[in-house]
A and B are shown apart, each in its own frame.
Chain A
Amino acid sequence: MKLFILEDELLQQERLEKFIVNYLIEKDYPVERVIACNKIQHFLESLENMSQNNIYFLDINIKGSRDAGLKVAQAIRKVDPIGQINFVTTHSEFAPLTYDYKVKAYDFINKSLPKAAFEARVSDNIEAFFESQYDTVSKKDVFAYKSRSGYLVNALYADIYFFESGSSSHQILLNMKNEVITFYGSLADIEAKSDDLIRIHRNTVVNQNKVKLYRKKSKQVVLEDDTVFSVSRMGCSLLNTLGKW
């Protein structure tokens, strides 16, 4: 694991680097190297052949190029999809929603914060990074599906309740605990993704771990969030062979 800094103003770069190096030594965190660059070219070169899961502190405006930080972050995401990217920048460049969506930015740190507050923010993020290392999820816990339009839908199986196709066919609504997503795809493909997913009806796929009740007589299924679905004959025979309820 490495830590990268991209900042074109040398004074600020040095200030950040010095603080981080001291902090890492003090906490004895397993960071191989701290790499500080002031040129995009150097930074991109240092990204080559790099391992995943690093921490980054990037300035957005580099040598007058106003979205240099974003471009660099996009290059980072190609080789390191899980690392922590922080933008260190002036307040007027803050765009957390946009950058979260585009490159999963973790935080925006305001350069003009007072020294103590600035350093607290940097160290908080480093702390958060090392804390999150313990609760990594394995690949089989994650539902990943590429929609017809190329959008990647990601969700934890533990959160998924059901998939339902809407009135316009192929539009699918994924229902989770605190989230709803619509996308274009096919229920048959989705059902094939995991044994936990069962097609109980022409337009419904449920997560069998979320089924609370199965009323055989009335051909109905009740999920943990109290949604009720009717079950087709095919669905009934599937549920019967599972025989859990």
Chain B
Amino acid sequence: MRPRANYQWTLVIYNLVFYFFLYAINGKYKEWEIQRLLKTKDSLISNLEIYTQKVDDSQQVVREFRHDFANILISMRQTIETGNVAEIKRTYTEILEESHIKLEQSQREISKLSNIKVLELKSLISEKILKAEVMGITAKLEILTIISDLLINKSDIVRILGIILDNAIEATKEMDRDKRFIRVAIFEDQKTKHYIVENGMVEKELPIKQLMGKGYTTKANHRGYGLANLATIMQHYMNCSYQIRAEDYRFKIVLRLEK
């Protein structure tokens, strides 16, 4: 009789310990999850802050430019009044060149993000574009219409675009500084939303299939792993398809999301 009772107690204690651990793990996990959420939120907010700052800056540049422009026009009028054609020509070219440069430098790219109404997407793209610019990469955005819905899960599209843009930055970094470029286009036609990212690369061409195999890490890049992830995420969606091409020193990904 006695040993049996002992055994029962052991069982009860074991059970209690087990439940306690379960409870503890659950608590820890929740804590970790909250931490993670807070972190994403923080980065989202800080990205948006930087974006707002950039937009303010570019508005400042536009204001300055308007001011300069008025002055330039006045001086132009004075030149015209002299009637000296050669002088007029010279001033004109000067103005054209100067204003060209100013407009180029006015962070227009970031201000194009105003068409994106989804904060997460705006935050991600502004972060990556700024990161690219810091590395001397020419980044161009084409967002001609307002983007207010994403058609697929926000976190998925942010993850996919994050992978694509990181890959693009990595690949472009290997190029000569003056040749580095990344272009991003988001647009809709009829029922389909398109995300296109194109960037330069040092290789003339690449075999995509091999690149997409998990853990493709030959060459000095890790582009392969991201592409495998992209394929996996896209598979979950019946309304999504993609196209990847690496030819003529250019790498291009097209995502098509149908309504």
B interface residue numbers (CB < 8 A to A): 96, 100, 103-104, 108, 140, 142, 144, 183-185, 187, 189, 191-192, 194, 196, 198, 205-210, 212, 234-235, 238-239, 241-247, 254, 256, 258
> Assuming A151-B241, A182-B234, A182-B241, is B246 touching A97 (CB within 8 A)?
no
Question: In the complex, which range does the number of interface residues on chain A fall in?
Answer: 20 to 34
List 16 extra interface pairs beyond A112-B96, A180-B244, A182-B242, CB under 8 A. Answer: A91-B104, A94-B140, A95-B144, A96-B183, A101-B194, A102-B189, A149-B241, A149-B258, A175-B208, A178-B245, A178-B247, A179-B244, A179-B245, A180-B208, A181-B243, A183-B241
Which of chain A's residues have a CB closer than 8 A to the CB of B103? 91-92
5 contacts between A and B (CB under 8 A): A98-B142, A112-B96, A179-B208, A181-B244, A227-B209
Q: Say yes or no: A151 contacts B208, CB within 8 Å.
A: no
Complex interface: chain B residues within 8 A of A96 (CB): 142, 183
A166 on the B face (CB < 8 A):
yes
Interchain CB contact under 8 A, B256 and A95:
no
A94 to B256, CA, bound (A): 22
Query: Given known contacts A97-B142, A101-B194, A178-B207, is B235 in contact with A168 (CB within 8 Å)?
Result: yes
Assess the A181–B241 pair: CB atoms within 8 A: yes
Is A184's CB within 8 Å of the partner chain B? yes
Counting chain B CB atoms within 10 Å of each CB, which of A98, A151, A161 scores highest? A98
A14 at the interface (CB under 8 A from B): no
Given contacts A179-B244, A179-B246, contact A98 B207 (CB under 8 A): no
The A interface, classified by DSSP as helix, strand, loop or mixed, is: mixed
A112 and B235 within 8 A (CB): no
Q: How far is the CA of A179 from the CA of B253 in the complex (A)?
A: 10
The answer to whether B241 touches A184, judged by C-beta atoms less than 8 angstroms apart, is: yes
State the Cβ distance, A115 to closest chain B Cβ, in Å. 11
A98 touching B187 in the complex, CB below 8 Å, given contacts A178-B206, A180-B212: yes
**Nearest residue in B to A113 (C-beta to C-beta)?**
B100
Taking a contact as CB atoms closer than 8 A, the residue among A92, A177, A182, A184 that contacts B207 in the complex is A177
A171 within 8 A of B: yes
Contacts of A166 in B (CB 8 A): 235
- Complex CA gap A225/B205 in Å reads 14
